[in-house]
Amino acid sequence: MENRIKTIGVLSSGGDAPGMNAAIRAVVRTALGKGLNVKGILKGYNGLLNEDIIDLDSREVSDTIQRGGTILGTARCPEFHDEEYQKKGAEICKKHGIEGLVVIGGDGSFAGARALANLGINTIGIPGTIDLDISCTDYTIGFDTAVNTAMEAIDKIRDTSTSHERCSIIEVMGRSAGFLALWCGIANGAEDILLPEKYDYNEQAIIDNIIRNRKLGKKHHIIINAEGIGHSTSMARRIEAATGVETRATILGHMQRGGNPTCRDRVAASTMGALAVDLLCEGKNKRVVAFKNGNYVDFDINEALAMQKDIPPYQYEVALRLTKF
């Protein structure tokens, strides 16, 4: 049944990701097209608790599809773990007539959405994170832009690394997940790829690999280190001392979260934003939008949060095979 609800809200939460604006734009325009009112909640659950709520019309989202970040702002809101604040959030939604809420973020943000759903607000989650670490979906908004940004930065580091015949340890984001590191490892042709899911902390194996590669005549040695392992600077010091090869560490950091979204992110975000509103209008609640096996689908939030996602074994095996030469 269409249009049971009259007013929906949208917020972005957790770390921002390129493409969030395209998702917000799609939510707003799909909802307006169905005759709904749309409220934008600023700065995630913080903004909800502070009643930082604005009306969104079509012009508000003009000229945003190509912009990184999120026009609504985002935040982490530790209080929202607390039931008292979740109840306050639900009351504020009701006060503003928000019957359906679209939450763009990661698993943490979906847990907040589930809490609101349990308190009577229909909620739909959209996966937005550069980390690709949401188990129910093969794709998360922001990943493609971030991995391309990181790849281009690593290409540049490789130029100078080769000129100086150095070893470079480059740390990429991903929180406790290694997807960004794996993709950069393959795309940048790294000699070593350290993933939190796989790394056995055998630094001697890396040292042996560097010494072996020098004997083979390699001028650079690129190590992609995932943020979940970290400690790149101290690792560089130890590796230089053990190998005699000058070693530098670069932590790419927040530059990976910015920039204009790629085509893939804009299209995925636009599709997911529209689907979220379609689901709310069908009377669906407590769902997460996902891209699975080439299709846009939706899952129950509880099921989605209980799923597990591992590093794809074949992709990892290929990455290892290609580092050996």
130 contacts which partner out of ligand F6P, ligand ADP, none, CB within 5 to 8 A by kind?
ligand F6P
Q: φ and ψ at 140, to 5 degrees? A: -125, 140
| Tally of residues, the chain | 325
* Minimal CB distance residue for ligand ADP: 108
Does residue number 174 form part of the binding site for ligand F6P (CB under 6 A)? Answer: yes
Q: Which of 284, 268, 267, 269 is nearest to 101 (CA)?
A: 284
Task: Measure the CA–CA gap between 158 and 154, rounded to whole angstroms.
Answer: 6
The residues, any chain, with a CB within 8 Å of residue 253's CB and separated by 6 or more, are 173
CB nearer ligand ADP, residue 140 or residue 168:
140
Does residue number 173 form part of the binding site for ligand F6P (CB under 6 A)? Answer: yes
User: Which SS3 state, helix, strand or coil, does residue 287 take?
Assistant: strand
Task: Measure the CA–CA gap between 1 and 38, rounded to whole angstroms.
Answer: 20
Angle, vertex CA 23, rays to CA 17 and CA 28, nearest 5: 140
Q: In the 3-class helix/strand/coil scheme, how is 26-70 assigned residue by residue?
A: HHHHHHHHCCCEEEEECCHHHHHHCCCEEECCHHHHCCCCCCCCC
Q: Are 169 and 203 in contact (CB under 8 A)?
A: no
Site string for ligand F6P, 1-20 (x = CB under 6 A): --------------x-----
Q: In the complex, what is the shortest distance from the CB of residue 14 to ligand ADP, in angstroms, rounded to a whole number? A: 3
Q: In the complex, what is the shortest distance from the CB of residue 15 to ligand F6P, in angstroms, rounded to a whole number? A: 3
Does residue number 107 form part of the binding site for ligand F6P (CB under 6 A)? Answer: no
Q: Catalytic one among 16, 55, 57, 131?
A: 131
User: Any catalytic annotation for residue 208?
Assistant: no
User: Which SS3 state, helix, strand or coil, does residue 243 take?
Assistant: helix
Task: Tell me the window of 66-74, 129-137, 152-160, 234-242 that interacts with ligand F6P (CB under 6 A).
Answer: 129-137
Task: Tell me the window of 10-18, 245-253, 265-273, 277-285 that interacts with ligand ADP (CB under 6 A).
Answer: 10-18
Does residue number 111 form part of the binding site for ligand ADP (CB under 6 A)? Answer: yes
Pair of tokens at residue 4: 């049971």
Does residue number 316 form part of the binding site for ligand ADP (CB under 6 A)? Answer: no
Does residue number 129 form part of the binding site for ligand ADP (CB under 6 A)? Answer: yes
| Residues engaged in binding ligand F6P (CB under 6 A) | 15, 129-131, 173-175, 227, 257
| Residues engaged in binding ligand ADP (CB under 6 A) | 13-15, 45, 76-78, 80-81, 105-109, 111-112, 115, 129
